[in-house]
């Protein structure tokens, strides 16, 4: 098969060859006199995509080969190949035939030959990351490709269709409607919102609003780079379109509060992470005011008032990240319920989960309400971010709730891809080796983990768009593994491999988790339940950022035997307890691996 379409960001493998025992993926650089590292990674990435997303590649080798037609000849002796994706092989125009035959022989005859007809009809269902998905949806010609790519995401498709039906019903009935979409971390809430804004409602001027500034900056810059990689006038046009579709919710509300007679262009707004909308106290703080803008109520109240300026119909789609409240002043679902009940002419549609959360602030209402209709299809319960194992989110829930037995059982039954090390350099080495092809790794840490600098990691990422979009050897890129992103930087975004640096702000003791905040030269224990929940949710966000593996580095700390040099702000025994808990929950120890090894030894 020539120019085999991989359905992700216009990737096309030059040639895919099916034999009786393997899939060979060829990337051909005609006229090239050398096998460059970038080309090797490209060939490897194609093979990894087929292994991960093509149903016909699950149990056979997928072998990448880079052909630089004019490169010097070199000796070739392939190792025994029996499964997965080996490191890329190199060939030239003259050596290609012999190398393909040698690879074929190195695999060995199968018990039953590969069924080519079945392979050609087997589903290929890639799981694009949020940046790739946004790019597909932003391009009108590729929106259908995005739908095809997510054809196996039944839960996401069902929820998106439920939202579309609700919007169509509101338009037909001429009413104002708030639609609440709930979901576990990584279930595709942001993708659902982007699909609404960039999909069927694009011509209605739908807007994606979020208070997550890094998410807005990264998405906008990613769309501009993909739409106009060479710059010029098209880049300016793409930036204008991205700015219109992706807006900071605080600035959006301020704009219309300052202009009480202006009707917004969008009839549908998607309010991302709506549980994090500011309550009245936070919204009206003097420090939040910009120029003449003076919010007088909570952000949910202002959002409903602004969208009600449409005399006929309007819809607010509120995306709710369960258990992801991470900051003071976040109103939660309860504030949305309060303002909908008090607003004239508004009704709401929500899943049953919106009424059953354990904390009052996370519930839309206490029981059935005349203004509320329940629809279970608005709840996203199937993890989409984790490519290999959907049990990552339940495992994280069990770890954070302190249910060691449940976590260990999940890990034992599914093999969740979480690893623990006490060595910072071992974590970096493992991340580099795990991030094959064009996969991206990065370090994350809690904003409260302020003693990591004493352990050798103290620099927070300064330019988040560069951190997420550029690649090594750009030292600003995430895969340089020099700087880390906090929960505020990475919420709503994702990486292929994550290195999580555990901080001293959440430790494990006999009574469960102990939350702390550094004040001056000492840690203070946090007893306020709301503040404790913020820190717990911080680690929930950080533990669910990876599409593939998460390597958790628990610093060794300062042992008490150091005498006068013992540092009580990073006590070794306290950090030992965290590592012991993670291992008891089923996270696997990361063995020491020489940097030159082709892959990390994961025990």
SS3 per-residue string spanning 188-199: CHHHHHHHHHHC
Q: pLDDT by residue (tens digit) across 570-599? A: 999 999 999 999 999 999 999 844 443 334
Q: Which helix (H) or strand (E) is 171 found in, with range? A: helix 154-173
Q: Is 121 exposed, middle or buried (0-12, 13-18, 19+ CB in 10 A)?
A: exposed
Mean pLDDT of 198-222: 78
The whole-number pLDDT of residue 303 equals 95
Would residue 231 be called left, alpha or beta, if left means φ above 0 and alpha means ψ between -120 and 50 degrees?
Answer: left
Indicate the average pLDDT of the chain. 86
**Is 28 strand, coil or helix?**
strand
Tell me, what DSSP letter sits at residue 598? S
The residue with greater pLDDT, 583 or 282, is 583
Mean pLDDT of 298-318: 94
Extract the tokens encoding 297: 């109520």
Mean pLDDT of 330-357: 90
The whole-number pLDDT of residue 264 equals 92
Q: pLDDT by residue (tens digit) across 73-96? A: 888 777 777 778 999 999 999 999
The residue with greater pLDDT, 178 or 146, is 178
Instruction: Compute the C-alpha angle 502/503/507, nearest 5°.
Output: 90
The whole-number pLDDT of residue 325 equals 57
Instruction: Compute the C-alpha angle 186/187/189, nearest 5°.
Output: 100
The whole-number pLDDT of residue 324 equals 57
Q: pLDDT by residue (tens digit) across 487-539? A: 999 888 889 999 999 999 999 988 899 999 999 999 999 999 888 988 999 99
Mean pLDDT of 360-379: 91
Question: In the chain, where are the structural domains located?
Answer: 2-121, 130-210+247-380, 392-589
The whole-number pLDDT of residue 333 equals 87
Query: Band of the pLDDT at 156, cuts 50, 70, 90?
Result: confident
Mean pLDDT of 448-473: 92
* CA dist., res. 167 & res. 350, Å (int): 13
Extract the tokens encoding 569: 């702000």
The whole-number pLDDT of residue 520 equals 93
Please name which of 517, 534, 535, 543 lies closest in space to residue 450, comparing C-alpha atoms: 517
Among 98-102, 328-332, 486-490, whose mean pLDDT is lowest?
328-332
- pLDDT over 70 percentage in the chain: 88
Contacts of 78 (CB under 8 A, 6+ apart): 89, 99, 102, 103, 106
């Amino acid at each position: 098969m020539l120019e085999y379409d991989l359905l992700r960001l216009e990737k096309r493998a030059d040639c895919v060859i099916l034999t009786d025992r393997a899939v060979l993926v060829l990337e051909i650089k005609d006229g090239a006199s050398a096998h460059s590292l970038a080309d090797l990674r490209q060939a490897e990435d194609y093979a990894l995509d087929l292994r991960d997303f093509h149903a016909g590649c699950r149990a056979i080798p997928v072998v990448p080969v880079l052909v630089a037609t004019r490169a010097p000849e070199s000796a070739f002796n392939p190792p025994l190949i029996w499964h997965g994706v080996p490191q890329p092989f190199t060939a030239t125009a003259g050596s290609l035939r012999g190398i393909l035959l040698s690879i074929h022989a190195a695999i060995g005859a199968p018990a039953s030959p590969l069924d080519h007809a079945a392979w050609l009809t087997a589903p290929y269902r890639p799981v694009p990351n949020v940046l790739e998905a946004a790019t597909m949806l932003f391009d009108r010609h590729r929106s259908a490709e995005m739908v095809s790519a997510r054809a196996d995401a039944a839960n996401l498709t069902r929820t998106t269709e439920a939202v579309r039906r609700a919007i169509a019903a509101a338009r037909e009935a001429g009413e104002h409607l708030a639609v609440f979409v709930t979901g576990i971390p990584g279930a595709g809430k942001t993708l659902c919102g982007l699909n609404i804004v960039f999909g069927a409602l694009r011509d209605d001027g739908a807007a994606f609003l979020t208070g997550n500034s890094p998410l807005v900056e990264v998405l906008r810059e990613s769309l501009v780079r993909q739409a106009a990689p060479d710059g010029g006038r098209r880049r300016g046009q793409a930036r204008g379109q991205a700015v219109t579709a992706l807006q900071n919710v605080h600035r959006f509300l301020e704009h219309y509060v300052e202009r009480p007679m202006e009707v917004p262009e969008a009839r549908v707004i998607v309010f991302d992470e709506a549980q994090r909308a500011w309550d009245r106290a936070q919204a009206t703080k003097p420090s939040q005011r910009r120029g003449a803008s003076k919010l007088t109520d909570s952000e949910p109240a202002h959002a409903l008032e602004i969208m009600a300026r449409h005399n006929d119909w309007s819809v607010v789609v509120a995306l709710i990240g369960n258990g992801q409240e991470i900051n003071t002043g976040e109103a939660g679902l309860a504030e949305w319920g309060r303002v909908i009940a008090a607003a004239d002419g508004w009704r709401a549609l929500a899943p049953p989960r919106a009424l059953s959360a354990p904390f009052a602030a996370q519930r839309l209402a206490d029981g059935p309400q005349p203004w509320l209709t329940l629809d279970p299809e608005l709840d996203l319960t199937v993890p989409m971010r984790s490519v290999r194992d959907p049990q990552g989110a339940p495992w994280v829930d069990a770890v954070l709730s302190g249910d060691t037995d449940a976590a260990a059982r999940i890990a034992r039954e599914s093999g969740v891809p979480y690893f623990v090390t006490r060595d910072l350099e071992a974590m970096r080495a493992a991340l580099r080796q795990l991030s094959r092809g064009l996969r991206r790794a990065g370090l994350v840490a809690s904003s409260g983990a302020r003693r990591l600098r004493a352990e050798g990691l103290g620099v927070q990422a300064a330019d988040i768009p560069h951190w997420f979009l550029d690649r090594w050897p750009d030292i600003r890129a995430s895969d340089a593994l020099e700087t880390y992103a906090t929960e505020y930087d990475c919420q709503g975004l994702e990486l292929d491999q994550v290195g999580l640096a555990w901080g001293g702000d959440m430790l494990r003791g006999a009574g469960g988790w102990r939350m702390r905040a550094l004040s001056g030269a000492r840690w203070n224990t946090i007893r306020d339940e709301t503040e404790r929940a913020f820190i717990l949710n911080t680690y929930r966000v950080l533990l669910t950022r990876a599409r593939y593996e998460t390597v958790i580095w628990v610093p060794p700390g300062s042992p008490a035997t150091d005498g006068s040099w013992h540092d009580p702000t990073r006590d070794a025994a306290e950090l030992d307890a965290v590592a012991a808990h993670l291992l008891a929950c089923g996270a696997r120890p990361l063995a020491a691996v020489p940097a030159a090894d082709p892959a990390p030894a994961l025990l």
